[in-house]
Structure 1
Amino acid sequence: MAADGERRKRRRRLFGTVAAVVAVALAAGGALLLSTGDDTPSAAGRTAAPAADEIRQTTEKAPASPEGQVVVDHYEQDLPKESAPSPRYAPGTWATGRILAKGIGTRIVGIRIEPGTDDTAWTLQLDGHLCATSGHVTVDGRTAVVVQPSSRKGTKDAGICDEVVFVDLNTGKKLWSARMPSAREAYVTNTNLTLAKGVVAVGWGHGSVAYDMKSGRRLWNSTTGAKCVDKGFAGGGALLALESCGEGSDSTYRVQRLDPRTGRARWTYKVAAGVQDVYLPSADPPVLAVAAGDILVTDLITLDGDDGTKLATISMGGDAYDPRCGDRYFSAGFFGDLENCDGVVVGRDQVFVTSKEQSDIDQPENWIVAFDRTTGKTEGKLDGRSLEPVVPLRMSGDRLLVLRSSLSDIEPSAVLSWDPRTGRQTPYLLFGLPSDEQGELGDPTRSDIVVERGRVFFAKRELAADDKHPKDAVLSVLGIGGAGNS
């Protein structure tokens, strides 16, 4: 009862903050609303409806009103203390039209998206801890996870992550599960999972396997002991494989575009020798983030999707840019990090990258630069504000969705879209975040930030109770939707 009472108080504070900051913003002559109107593609740009097993790429439409309201407010209890060695990990956040699904420890929880409630629609108890997740979701609302079976607890194979589970996010139903072959060296630190049309693919640096989404039937798998092994995959509109060839200091990397159904390579791009690490922030169009001579990303490389030839190299300029590749979980590689570059978003024609944060109080906290994908030249810049950093979230058609966090009591935080060719900014949502949670919720290396169907969800990746109040419930997910869309 005490937890419920505190939750209601907190929700009222959120509603009051949102209303106040929006009212001030509107009264100030619309300074925050740089442009308004429809933000959907023209009829000429629309295509036929995608198949159910394709990976969704939704185009957002600005809500009728930018004023935000809380639509998900989910708390977790019985958590380890903050001072405990390990928090409760919560990898994976997915949204459909009516459900926000969250991976937490050994389960996935489905929460109804509805203002004023914290209603759990379903809970899927897994066979063990989550090991790898993917942000990709099919058009009809399905995704996959990799699990570490608890049946091996107490044995020498206790840490192996070799169970793939395919889930319907709307109902919480486990559609199928499969045991990965020869996966004795698949762990939470090296297992990468992705989805492409009709296919679930998993790689762990010592082997790989792909399954048919509909049946769970194994389509193909790589052999262990080969000269080049699959470190993992990037999915979405295409399937890319990152392969490591050789051992130790002599190892090199190559990237292949695969036929998802057969695993056969359509083309191969050989990464230059001396590169220490490679990430794949986008498969379609293909973009690589490489750490040349260092563990930090030094360059982005764009490739032609048809034949794999190099188009451009975009330098990260030493201390200029912050691609944030592999920065989650203290760069430990937990839960699959091959596709995770939280400071990079790739569009059809452009690559968007955040700058490092600045220290000058009167200058923008940071900014986002748009690069032409073919030439590597800059095509636009979106400035944050003092104490209001900007974070690129994902593409919505040809526009970039951006989170602009605010530490001010006057100006709200915002999700907006940006068209770098025209400079047009369209406000989607204006809202306040809890002051004691804002730093964690607004940090893409610490929380999942998901925009889907006119709503934005902030979901923590690690959960722990306050040492002084260990029995208090802890905020896990906060969702904001348009006040006019309830």
Structure 2
Amino acid sequence: MSFGPPPSVYTQSTLTAHDERKRSRRRLFGITAAVLAVALGVGGWLLTRAGDGEQSGAPHVAAAADEVRETVEKIPATPEGQVVVDHNEEDLSGVTDSHPRYAPGTWATGKILAKGVANRIVGIKVEPHYDETAWTLKLDGHICATSNHVTVDGRTAVVVQPARRKGTAGAGICDEVVFVDLNTGKKLWQSSMPSASSAFVTNTNLTLTKGVVAVAWGKGSVAYDMKNGKQLWNSGTLSKCEDQGFAGGRALLALERCGDAPDTTYRVEKLDPRTGKAQWTYKPAAGVESVHLPSSDPPVLAVAAGDTSVTDLITLDDEGRRLATISMEGGAYDPRCDDGLGFFGVVEKCPGMVVGQDQVFVTSKDQTELDQPENWIVAFDIKTGKTEGKIDGRRQSPIVPLRMSGDDLLVYRRSFSDVEPDAVVRWNPRTGKETPLLLFTLSGGDNHALGDPEQSDIVVEKGRVFFAQQELSADPKHPKDPVLLALGIGSAG
């Protein structure tokens, strides 16, 4: 697979650095996609169930269809898990670790798990003990950028690099936006990004906010109406500042980079999604190496000051004024904004942290001491930056923050034990209580990448958890064998 020149995306140095990052996190424990039903009484670590399964923060007003969804997970009749998706990728002969087949983008609705793979999106039916492809949407070329956001009625967008330009001056350019209905696999509209000759997989970022799809690629940006793909606004190269990317969801924030190195500065603007006009501007201090936007509302910045990794989180109020600076304490915390290959859209993605309405949840770095849990997640107050709660992993059982469910945090507890199951739990930071949503086991074999958030997407939606690999390669010993692409677990009840 090639994304074309220039720039050369998959240089040997890029691939080597990526492999080293994966090896540094990868554990010497194999896990496969086999799922075992786990009784509620297994192990002494099982969690306290919380009341009637309701929680504060659940929305009471129905959201519009074109808003970005914020679903609240309900307690299932039983957390005992069963397989609801078990889907393989075929025809991987010749696809190796050094030249993998990339699979960016994973989205779930009530009936469909949708997965981006190379130059297509596949929709898989969510049904117990049954595997069937509901639809396949062939794209004009490979996927360049995705967003985690999905509308209330199950739509999302991708940016594509059209393959039809192979051998031309436009080869390798990522300038096609496709808006998709995830339930049906229907392409709702397709638009070409204006003046996007410098948009590549390395610098293109995509997001969604209410009624709007927005894309930025450094030298420009553009926004479209979700209803019909009509262009709402775009920016060119007249400004000395370049749009690096957007954070969407409840609001739209733009990250702009100004000036050339070593005098580069950044600014963050809240935009009117329909016009692109700035409503306020915040400027991080000079000397910041990079900025990520993990949340638009509340506004949160993850900045690397004098370092390549995130050193501080900055929270802002509704007017763009600084509320608090949360130190990552010299690498003690790991928001993981610099994870991955560095493309398919990175400005909005920090898988080691989750932002709620009142709190920021950040994962600690992995621990090496024998008497310590593998890692933990700390809740910080948005307004003050003070710690407000902590949830621990266990020895050889790290935890991963997934997303908010109302005011509670959904957490994946990995397990490398023969006794304790993997679990998705709901953690209430106000009371410290955990409630199990799903219990299951990923055990044995060589598919350890499934449970690793650096190598797989982990999505919780409508009472199910889905694990989907981001890269695929053939088994060297059995190159013609299919490779597991996605696994889903739902309640056996």
TM-score, normalised relative to structure 1: 0.93
1:357 to 366, 377, 393: 366
- Distance, in Å, in 2 between the alignment partners of 1:51 and 1:341 is 27
Tell me whether 1:483 sits opposite 2:486 in the alignment: no
- Distance, in Å, in 2 between the alignment partners of 1:50 and 1:83 is 44
Q: Deviations over 1:411-457 (max 9, x none)?
A: 00000011111111000000011433563112212110000010000
2:191 corresponds to: 178
SS of structure 1 residue aligned to 2:331: coil
Tell me whether 1:472 sits opposite 2:481 in the alignment: yes
Q: Deviations over 1:78-118 (max 9, x none)?
A: 11546463100000000000000000000000000001111
- Distance, in Å, in 2 between the alignment partners of 1:47 and 1:230 is 36
- Distance, in Å, in 2 between the alignment partners of 1:337 and 1:40 is 34
- Distance, in Å, in 2 between the alignment partners of 1:291 and 1:362 is 31
- Distance, in Å, in 2 between the alignment partners of 1:90 and 1:361 is 36
Change (3 A) 1:437 1:71: farther
- Distance, in Å, in 2 between the alignment partners of 1:93 and 1:450 is 7
Tell me whether 1:35 sits opposite 2:55 in the alignment: no
1:241 corresponds to: 254
Please state how far the C-alpha of 1:133 moved relative to its aligned partner: 0.3
- Distance, in Å, in 1 between the alignment partners of 2:465 and 2:395 is 23
- Distance, in Å, in 2 between the alignment partners of 1:174 and 1:343 is 32
The equivalences for 1:209-358 within 5 A come to 209-304=222-317, 306-329=318-341, 333-358=342-367
More helix by share: 1
1:101 to 114, 117, 126: 114
1:131 corresponds to: 144
- Distance, in Å, in 2 between the alignment partners of 1:46 and 1:84 is 44
Please state how far the C-alpha of 1:31 moved relative to its aligned partner: 3.6
Change (3 A) 1:47 1:422: same
SS of structure 1 residue aligned to 2:195: coil
Does the Cα contact within 8 Å between 1:80 and 1:87 map onto a contact in 2?
no
Which stretch of the first structure deviates more once superposed, 443-452 or 177-186?
Answer: 443-452
Please state how far the C-alpha of 1:13 moved relative to its aligned partner: 8.4
Please state how far the C-alpha of 1:225 moved relative to its aligned partner: 3.7
- Distance, in Å, in 2 between the alignment partners of 1:252 and 1:40 is 45
- Distance, in Å, in 2 between the alignment partners of 1:228 and 1:466 is 46
Please state how far the C-alpha of 1:77 moved relative to its aligned partner: 1.1
1:402 to 407, 411, 420: 411
Tell me whether 1:392 sits opposite 2:401 in the alignment: yes
1:194 to 207, 214, 226: 207
Tell me whether 1:366 sits opposite 2:400 in the alignment: no
- Distance, in Å, in 2 between the alignment partners of 1:40 and 1:461 is 34
1:445 to 447, 454, 478: 454
Please state how far the C-alpha of 1:40 moved relative to its aligned partner: 2.7
Please state how far the C-alpha of 1:328 moved relative to its aligned partner: 1.4
Change (3 A) 1:296 1:276: same
2:14 corresponds to: none
What is the aligned length? 463
Change (3 A) 1:278 1:437: farther
Change (3 A) 1:321 1:439: farther
- Distance, in Å, in 2 between the alignment partners of 1:341 and 1:80 is 33
Please state how far the C-alpha of 1:37 moved relative to its aligned partner: 3.8
1:166 corresponds to: 179
Change (3 A) 1:81 1:63: farther
Q: Which residue identity does 1:123 align to in structure 2?
A: T
Please state how far the C-alpha of 1:369 moved relative to its aligned partner: 0.4
- Distance, in Å, in 1 between the alignment partners of 2:58 and 2:117 is 39
Change (3 A) 1:158 1:237: same
Q: Which residue identity does 1:319 align to in structure 2?
A: G
Does the Cα contact within 8 Å between 1:81 and 1:87 map onto a contact in 2?
no
- Distance, in Å, in 2 between the alignment partners of 1:405 and 1:469 is 28
Change (3 A) 1:384 1:308: same
- Distance, in Å, in 1 between the alignment partners of 2:58 and 2:289 is 41
Does the Cα contact within 8 Å between 2:354 and 2:403 map onto a contact in 1?
yes
1:412 corresponds to: 421
Please state how far the C-alpha of 1:353 moved relative to its aligned partner: 0.3
Does the Cα contact within 8 Å between 2:42 and 2:420 map onto a contact in 1?
no
Please state how far the C-alpha of 1:27 moved relative to its aligned partner: 4.9
- Distance, in Å, in 1 between the alignment partners of 2:328 and 2:173 is 36
- Distance, in Å, in 2 between the alignment partners of 1:81 and 1:238 is 44
Please state how far the C-alpha of 1:250 moved relative to its aligned partner: 1.0
SS of structure 2 residue aligned to 1:302: strand
2:130 corresponds to: 117
1:3 corresponds to: none
Please state how far the C-alpha of 1:46 moved relative to its aligned partner: 3.9
Please state how far the C-alpha of 1:466 moved relative to its aligned partner: 0.6
- Distance, in Å, in 1 between the alignment partners of 2:428 and 2:97 is 45
SS of structure 2 residue aligned to 1:101: strand
Please state how far the C-alpha of 1:155 moved relative to its aligned partner: 1.6
1:9 corresponds to: none
Residue identity (%)? 69
Which stretch of the first structure deviates more once superposed, 426-435 or 176-185?
Answer: 426-435
Does the Cα contact within 8 Å between 2:300 and 2:315 map onto a contact in 1?
yes
Change (3 A) 1:320 1:438: farther
TM-score, normalised relative to structure 2: 0.91
Q: Which residue identity does 1:227 align to in structure 2?
A: K
SS of structure 1 residue aligned to 2:41: helix
1:14 corresponds to: 34
Which stretch of the first structure deviates more once superposed, 201-210 or 357-366?
Answer: 357-366
SS of structure 2 residue aligned to 1:26: coil
- Distance, in Å, in 1 between the alignment partners of 2:97 and 2:69 is 39
Please state how far the C-alpha of 1:66 moved relative to its aligned partner: 0.6
- Distance, in Å, in 2 between the alignment partners of 1:45 and 1:234 is 23
Does the Cα contact within 8 Å between 1:40 and 1:59 map onto a contact in 2?
no
Unpaired segments ≥5 residues, structure 2: 1-31
Change (3 A) 1:84 1:425: closer
- Distance, in Å, in 2 between the alignment partners of 1:99 and 1:31 is 33
